[in-house]
Amino acid sequence: MSKYHRDYLEPSEQEHRIQYLGESGYTADCLLALDAVLGSGVLPQKATIVSLRVNRGRRSIETEVEDHLFLLWDWGTFPVTIIPSGFASGYNGEGSKGFSLAICMLRGKGIPIEQVYVEELEFESIDNGNIPSPLRLKIKDKSESLPFPFPEWVNDTHKILLERGQLWKSYYWREHKTDWLTEAIADIDDYDPSVGEKLRLALDLLLSSDGSAQCQQTGILIRDAWIELSRRLWEAAQNIEKVSVGRNDVKGMLGRLKISDEMINMTKSAYNLALKIQHDMQANPTVARLCLTATVLTMRILVKK
């Protein structure tokens, strides 16, 4: 039976069923397994980090170098699901980065996280898919809740992305299938997350649009994105005369920045089209997509300057 899917069922005890997802020692496979669980529509009740202090051959056994695996409790019909030891901490590497990401993935779904240290033979047993009843009870009894963000385990990049709701940017194991529009929005998002969020919402709405009302809403989102970006560029501008300009005056703010006439014209055209769409009871998806495309193209150039 594949190591990616193993059930251990004692006929007399249904609660001994174990699900095993991922492959020990392979971070990407373990993250892919965790992502599949969290995206299944049914979340586990809690997660336990099972840890082992290890000797890498360069340091003392007393150092903070550790291997980790995850136990997910009560996911679907399985009392316990094992995500094996593709994770580590105490040094720079894929295992450490993956461990930080896994913690944030669980945190992002609101799943309580506990942690426990075990002996080497116990860790190996779990990592191989076996949790005898005494060991299972020991883990439940000894595990302790840990406060977030576990600073020694979670890196700043993942923490910031989690706070922004953008942890997906670190899901490097997924096959990315995006067109240039999505990639360009990601560049704008890096400059100002609030602008990127509005553009993503506009794109999602446009892709699901089946009427003028949704197209009008797309226009509103694009208009608001222009206002947000204009404020950001205006506040960051240097060596220009900061005359009094209304906080929603997109043309007034951008018109005084040191950008080319061509860029000013592109900006005004895209912004005017967004205003037109938001008031047009007959707006259609083709025009709305044209507006979004022009907006993203222009914004990307502006933020890359």
> How far apart are the two ends of the chain, measured CA to CA in Å?
55
Q: Are 25 and 3 in contact (CB under 8 A)?
A: no
The pLDDT confidence band at residue 108, using thresholds 50, 70 and 90, is very high
Q: Which of the pair, 101 or 251, is modelled with greater confidence?
A: 101
Q: Are 48 and 114 in contact (CB under 8 A)?
A: yes
The whole-number average pLDDT for the span 4-24 is: 59
Instruction: State yes or no: pLDDT of 238 exceeds 90.
Output: no
The whole-number average pLDDT for the span 6-30 is: 68
pLDDT in tens, 147-176: 777 768 998 899 998 988 888 888 877 665
pLDDT at 240 (0 to 100): 67
The pLDDT confidence band at residue 2, using thresholds 50, 70 and 90, is very low
Q: Nearest to residue 33, comparing CAs of 150, 149, 175, 173?
A: 173
Q: Nearest to residue 24, comparing CAs of 52, 46, 62?
A: 52
The whole-number average pLDDT for the span 268-288 is: 87
The whole-number average pLDDT for the span 79-101 is: 90
Please name the amino acid found at residue 115.
Q
pLDDT in tens, 43-75: 999 999 999 987 655 444 445 689 999 999 998
Domains of the chain: 14-170 (3.40.1530.10), 180-304 (1.20.120)
The whole-number average pLDDT for the span 10-29 is: 72
All residues at 6 or more sequence positions from 137 whose CB lies less than 8 Å from its CB, including other chains: none
Whole-angstrom Cα distance, residue 300 to residue 162?
24
Taking all residues of the chain, what is their mean pLDDT, rounded to a whole number?
83
Residue with the two structure tokens 């949704």: 214
- Helices within 120-192 (DSSP H only): 120-127, 133-142, 156-164, 180-191
pLDDT at 44 (0 to 100): 94
Instruction: State yes or no: pLDDT of 3 exceeds 50.
Output: no
Q: What secondary structure does DSSP assign to 66-103, as a single string?
A: EEEEEEEEEETTEEEEEEEEEEEESSSSHHHHHHHHHH
CB-hemisphere CA count at 13 Å for 122? 17
Give the number of other CB atoms < 10 A from CB of residue 157: 15
The pLDDT confidence band at residue 198, using thresholds 50, 70 and 90, is very high
The pLDDT confidence band at residue 210, using thresholds 50, 70 and 90, is low
The whole-number average pLDDT for the span 98-115 is: 94
Instruction: State yes or no: pLDDT of 199 exceeds 90.
Output: yes
Q: Which of the pair, 200 or 261, is modelled with greater confidence?
A: 200
Q: What secondary structure does DSSP assign to 202-256, as a single string?
A: HHHHHHT--SHHHHHHHHHHHHHHHHHHHHHHHHH--SS------TT-HHHHHHT
pLDDT at 8 (0 to 100): 37
pLDDT at 54 (0 to 100): 79
- Kindly tell me the burial class for residue 181, based on how many C-beta atoms sit within 10 Å of its own C-beta (0-12, 13-18, 19 or more): middle
The whole-number average pLDDT for the span 115-139 is: 93
Whole-angstrom Cα distance, residue 33 to residue 284?
41
Whole-angstrom Cα distance, residue 100 to residue 151?
10
